[in-house]
Structure 1
Amino acid sequence: MARRKYTEVEEKLMTEIAQNLKKILKSKKWFQKDLAEAADLSTSVVSDYLNAKTLASPGVIEKIAEVLGVEKSDIDPTYAKLSERRNPSLVPLVGKICAGDGILANSNIEDYVCYPFPSKKQPDFALEVKGDSMEDAGIENGDIVYFKKSDWADYNGQIVAVVLNDCNEGMLKRLKWTEGSPLMTLKPENADYEEKQVRPNEIIVCGVYMGHFKPFKEEQPC
């Protein structure tokens, strides 16, 4: 099976991940097979990561970081270290999601927004909602939505940030599926919008919903 063609940004990220993994393995005196066994991956897959031939998914990065005892950001630089942010409770606000294959490129970060629950698990990124397709879920135009970086939903019906393969723009929808059916449903929370039926290979999930808030909006003078 032919390898898919990666974008220039993805290739650069793959190289950085490979270099970081090699440094970590060397410091721990681990071999390629040690990582493969610990992370329950094949040696060929690990070899591809170490030689920058395949882009590791967020789920794989999380698994590898866990078995190596390091932060995800020590492997994948797209995970901003909380200690490097101006404030531990500040979250990157991205203007465009899923450039390429689910990557949150640094160039897409427009600002940083506060996460109001510093004692809880911090989100990886935030988006400003554009449109009203999720208003029945309480998510309205202009709201800030927080996400955990992930390549699939944690459960059936979860709200996710997702992109269709043939579209560069991301969307916020519930991801639902039925056992035995090859199709997934991208479900809006507004009766004025239609559901979209897709196959798993037709979408890229970039993150799962962690909450949202409504920014204070000044009243316009009469």
Structure 2
Amino acid sequence: MNLTPRQQQVLDFLRQQIQTTGLPPSMAELMAAFGWSSPNGAAKHLQALAAKGVIALTPHKARGIRLLEPLETSRTTTADTLALPLVGRVAAGEPVLSMHAIERRLIVDRWLFQPRPDFLLRVQGDSMIEDGILDGDLVAGKATPDAQHGQTVIARVGEGITIKRLHHQDGQIRLLPRNAAYAPIDPAVHEDFAIEGIYCGLLRRA
């Protein structure tokens, strides 16, 4: 199988989308992930993959894409890219990676982050500027309910999601900003609070 680098990225995206959601991506999701302005770009790459025998296309059917290799095999592929969900508004009581919270998926270089992330979250505000995390950045997070003292975490507090430095000593949890203009957050006992993930790195548009 001789694929161009772009065709390999598209195939990796199809694999990851099916593994994550159980469904192939829509044309709109492909366009958003790769920055194509019309369905023609997505259709051209899908047709090329079909011609090379790695996928099958069902005409006139939404999400009519089928991999022609077992997912068990595709899981072992050493691709250099990740298709990460970009998380938007998270409703109260829902996990960060709930279906309704995902805006779209972005293709990123897997070697940019450590540890390997599960999602991207857009930063709002300047409470973490001393750590180089700026308003509008896309922060990569690894989904986990556990974090160590001193780690930067993505946390749910009440009806919002925030990025802060975790202070956890003697049973006391505080979320510390990295901007002297902001006060620490002390989650109340009755408040909806959970650690949703740990910080893995960020993306910033030039």
> What TM-score results when the alignment is normalised by the length of structure 1?
0.52
Q: Relative to 1, partners in 2 of residues 1:133 and 1:123: Cα closer, same or farther, differing over 3 Å?
A: same
Does the 8 Å contact 2:112/2:201 carry over to 1? Answer: no
* 1:42-94 alpha-carbon deviations (Å, 9 max, x no partner): xxxxxxxxxxxxxxxxxxxxxxxxxxxxxxxxxxxxx8279967685220001
Residue 80 of structure 1 aligns to a residue whose secondary structure is helix
Equivalent residue, structure 1, for 2:166? 175
TM-align CA RMSD: 3.0
1:159 matched to 2:147? The reply is no
1:121-136 map, 5 Å: 122-136=116-130
Q: Relative to 1, partners in 2 of residues 1:99 and 1:115: Cα closer, same or farther, differing over 3 Å?
A: farther
1:210 matched to 2:197? The reply is no
Instruction: Work out the number of aligned pairs and report it.
Output: 134
Equivalent residue, structure 2, for 1:137? 131
Residue 197 of structure 1 aligns to a residue whose secondary structure is coil
Does the 8 Å contact 2:152/2:199 carry over to 1? Answer: yes
1:102 matched to 2:91? The reply is no
Q: Which runs of 5+ in 2 are unaligned?
A: 1-18, 34-80
What CA distance in whole angstroms lies between the structure 1 residues aligned with 2:205 and 2:137? 6
Q: Which runs of 5+ in 1 are unaligned?
A: 1-78, 217-222
What CA distance in whole angstroms lies between the structure 2 residues aligned with 1:126 and 1:112? 9
1:80 matched to 2:20? The reply is yes
Does the 8 Å contact 1:183/1:198 carry over to 2? Answer: no
Shift of 1:123: 1.5
Identity %: 30
Paired AA for residue 20 in structure 2:
A
Does the 8 Å contact 2:118/2:142 carry over to 1? Answer: yes
Does the 8 Å contact 1:91/1:113 carry over to 2? Answer: yes
Does the 8 Å contact 2:116/2:200 carry over to 1? Answer: no
What CA distance in whole angstroms lies between the structure 1 residues aligned with 2:87 and 2:150? 24
Which structure has greater strand proportion? 2
Q: Relative to 1, partners in 2 of residues 1:198 and 1:107: Cα closer, same or farther, differing over 3 Å?
A: closer
Equivalent residue, structure 2, for 1:28? none
What CA distance in whole angstroms lies between the structure 2 residues aligned with 1:211 and 1:119? 7
Shift of 1:170: 0.7
Equivalent residue, structure 2, for 1:192? 181
Shift of 1:102: 2.8
> What TM-score results when the alignment is normalised by the length of structure 2?
0.56
